[in-house]
Structures are given as C-alpha cells and as structure tokens.
Amino acid sequence: MVSVGEADSVIRLPDREVDLAALRVCLDTGEQIPLTPREGAIVALLARRAGAVVSRDELNRAHWGYAETSLSRAVDVAIGRLRKKLEAEPGAPRVLRTAHGGGYLWCAAEAAPRPTREVSVARAPKVLVLSSCEVDLGRARIAGDGWSATLTTCELAVLSCLAEADGQVVAAAALGRVLGSRPDRLRPVVDTVYRLRRKLEREPSQPQHLLSVRGVGYRLEVLRARPVEPAGFERMARRLVGHVGAFLGQEDCVVYALRDNLLVQVAAHGVKAGQDGAVVEPLVLPVGAGIVGEAARRGRLVHVADTQTDPRYIHDAYGGRSELAVPILAGDRLLGVLDSEARAVNAYGQDLRAAFASLADLAAAIGD
C-alpha cells in the first residue's frame, strides 16, 4: 500500500472530499461512497505525485504486481471506477486526468489538499456556559438539565473557532476554511450552524447565543467560560507521559481519553505539551480513525514501522516516521490510548513495545 506521505489524508475536491484514512468519498450533499483499499492506494500514489504523470506500468507494478502493457487494461478499469466516485462529470474528468500514451496524473489545481478532518479543539479547553446547557469543548459534550449530546467533529471545529474569537464576529469564509470548504461554497457552514443551534439554543429559530451577522459571518455569545478541571484519568495521564520522557527517553508521547466514542488528547510529552499541563491544540479522533483509532477499535497494540507506507497515518505536530499506539484497557473496557511517535523508521523494538504495554496496563489500573 502507498500513502500520500507529505500530503494530508483528506483531500478536498470541488464538491466532495476524499478521506484516505477512512477509505471513503464524502459528497457535500452528505452522501458517502466507499473506496476499496486498492482504490485508496491508487489515489494516494497519484496525489503524492500531483502534477506528474504516473505510468500504467508503474501502477501495474505497485498494485497488481506486473508491468506487462498487454495487461494494463486493469489500470484503465480501476481509473474508470475511481472517476465515477471522484468526478462530478466522469466523462470529462478534471482531477484524475489521462496523459495519452503515458498514464495518468492528479491535477493539483482542481484538488486542493487540506488538513485532516479529525480537527483540533480550542487551544485552551474550556466549558462554555449557555442559558440552557454547558458545552465542554475538551470532551465534545453538551450537558443540559437531564439531557446530554455529543458534538460532531465539524460542529466542534466551528464552535471552537467561534469560542476562540471571544464574542467577535468570525467571517463565514473563515469558518468554511476550518471545515475545508472552498470560499464560494458556504453551504457546509450554514448546515453546521443549523445543527449547532438545534443542540445549543432553547429556540433554534430565535438564537440567543450563536448569532448571525448578515453578510459577514457569525459570533458566539456565552454567559461565561471556565477552564476544564482535569478528571482523574487526565491527571494520571499527565503523570504517565512524564515517565515516558524521563525513563524511556522518548521525544513524543500523547494519551487519548475515550469520550463518547471519540478519542480526545488529554496529556502530552514533547511538542504537544502546554505550560499548564494541557495539550496544545488537542486532536479529536473517532474510534477507528488513524493508527490510534485502529488500536482503540481492535483493542490491541498497533505498531507501524514506517508511517509513510501506512495510509492510516494522521499527521500531527510531531510528524514521526514510526508510531506505536497501545490501548488502555480495564478488562474489556476501553479507557483511552497511549500513543508515541519517533523520528526514525522502526524505532520501537520488542523491549520498548513491552514497556509501553506495561505502562498502558498501569494506567488502566490507576485511571479506572
């Protein structure tokens, strides 16, 4: 399998996006189209070489194991299927183009890569107090009187951006960039605001907190905001990552906590660590997304010797070449994931993997 490498794992097209980690195409209309692993690998290879012609022979060797030109029809059939999933008009492709007599190329001008959909929450996790509920940005949760709800990744991204503005107007185009939308396509912003109002407002048609500024954008009015007090698991996690740096000599370590089927970064050692013990721009990942999400879904250690050859890899602040993700399990119950990246390829030998597994077991015993 081939990954995008330096490029991001979510690629924005004019009316849809390609999520290479989840192997799906998400249309702006909300429809989702699955990709096969081979289709995802072909897209990753072409996108990584955007603007350059990739020959049929190279695609044959990479994904079918042979290079005979007489068998190159397999590539053409696969490209035809991909165009039906990627192009608004498959008969007149703008992204996945044919280089006659040579092969295929990915047109970067039509396909702009953007950061991964697993968006970060507010820089300083906080609780927003509204008239009918409280919103915990660090846990992507809304709690009212006798009810609760979960924020989607898009809702969390928009709400976090508005919260960071501290009551000031945020342009709709800026919110669109947070969601990966083109400046002339603001429908995803409108739809996300509509869903947020249904969760946050007593009367969504007469909002008191998430307010529109006609022709400009939106602003958020809260009664007050307060910092998030770390829970017991989070306090334990902050001590744990310090041991990883001090005793195992690792440059990077992050602990994710499970919050309503979302994995939220709650403690870090290295470039993600803030001065107050919080995580700088913590990521929120759905279970199953990326290498961390895969470890959570499977309930066992996932070791990737070279992240550049694994399409599940999601780039964060450190950007390592190898990664180790160990689930923190209390019996059969998932509490979180202990994750580390290293600059070198295949940096996690058997002894180091065993040490991380022991730390994860200790974390489960203390944090449960």
Convert the pLDDT of each residue in 267-293 to its tens digit.
888 888 876 667 877 888 888 888 999
Using the 3D structure, point to which of 181, 201, 227 is the last residue of a domain. 227
2: in domain: no
Together in a domain, 208 and 304? no
Examine the domain organization and report whether 242 and 332 are in the same domain: yes
Residue 4, domain member (yes or no): no
3 inside domain: no
**CA 324 to CA 351: how far, in whole Å?**
13
Tally of helices (H runs) and strands (E runs) in the chain: 9, 22
Give yes or no: residues 209 and 259 share one domain: no
Residue 73 lies in a domain: yes
If asked whether residues 288 and 238 sit together in one domain, one would say yes
In terms of C-beta distances under 8 Å and separation of at least 24 residues, what long-range contacts does 93-101 make, across chains too? 94/14, 95/13, 96/46, 99/53
Q: How far is CA 90 from CA 19, 82, 87, 181, in A?
A: 19, 9, 5, 22
∠215-217-222 over CA atoms, to 5°?
135
Tell me: pLDDT of 230 over 90.
no
C-alpha dist (Å) from residue 229 to 59, 166, 263, 353: 52, 20, 18, 32
Where residue 183 sits, what CATH number does that domain have?
A: 1.10.10.10
Tell me: pLDDT of 12 over 80. no
Chain centroid offset of residue 130 CA: 28
Residue after which a domain boundary falls, among 89, 114, 139: 114
Residues 159, 175, single domain; the answer is: yes
Q: Place 193 in a pLDDT band, splitting at 50, 70 and 90.
A: very high
Domain that holds residue 324: 232-367
CA–CA separation, 359 vs 325, rounded Å? Answer: 12
Contact 199, 208 (CB under 8 A): no
* 177 and 105 part of one domain: no
Instruction: Note whether residue 217 is domain-resident.
Output: yes
Phi, psi of 163 (to 5 degrees): -65, -40
Q: What is the three-class DSSP state of 100?
A: coil
Q: State residue 2's pLDDT score.
A: 35
Model confidence at 45: pLDDT above 90: no
If one counts the domains in the chain, the total is 3
Distance CA(82)–CA(43), nearest Å, equals 9
Q: Which two tokens stand for residue 72?
A: 């190159």
DSSP three-state, residue 145: coil
Q: What is the mean pLDDT of residues 173-189?
A: 78
Q: What is the CATH number of the domain that holds 254?
A: 3.30.450.40
| Dihedral sign computed on CA atoms, order 77, 81, 86, 88 | positive
Q: Are residues 344 and 254 in the same domain?
A: yes
Same domain, 63 and 162: no
Same domain for 236 and 361? yes
Radius of gyration over alpha carbons of the chain, in Å?
22
CA distances from 184 to 165, 176, 191 (A): 23, 9, 15
CB 114 within 8 A of CB 4: no
β-bridge mates for residue 122, sequence order: none
What is the C-alpha separation between 173 and 243, in angstroms, rounded?
43
Query: CA-to-CA distance for 188 and 176, rounded, in angstroms?
Result: 7
Q: Is residue 27 part of a domain?
A: yes
How far apart CA 75 and CA 305 sit, in angstroms, is: 29
Is residue 30 in a domain? yes
CA angle 317, 319, 321 (to 5 degrees): 165
Is residue 246 over pLDDT 80? no
- Residue 296: is its pLDDT beyond 90? yes
Q: Assess whether 45 and 88 both reside in one domain.
A: yes
Is-contact 104 53, C-beta < 8 A? yes
State residue 4's pLDDT score.
Answer: 39
Q: Are residues 186 and 79 in the same domain?
A: no
- Report pLDDT for 5: 37
Of 227, 246, 265, the one marking the end of a domain is: 227
Does 120 reside within a domain?
no
Task: Give me the residues paired with residue 259 across strands.
Answer: 262
Report whether 161 contacts 174 (CB < 8 A). Answer: yes
Structure tokens at 48: 């990584």
- In sequence order, the β-bridge partners of residue 149 are 142
User: Comparing 177 with 146, which gets the higher pLDDT?
Assistant: 146
More confident residue, 74 or 142: 142
| Residue 323, amino acid | E
282 & 347 share domain: yes
The arithmetic mean of pLDDT across residues 214-233, rounded, is 77
pLDDT in tens, 67-94: 454 445 778 888 999 999 998 888 888 8
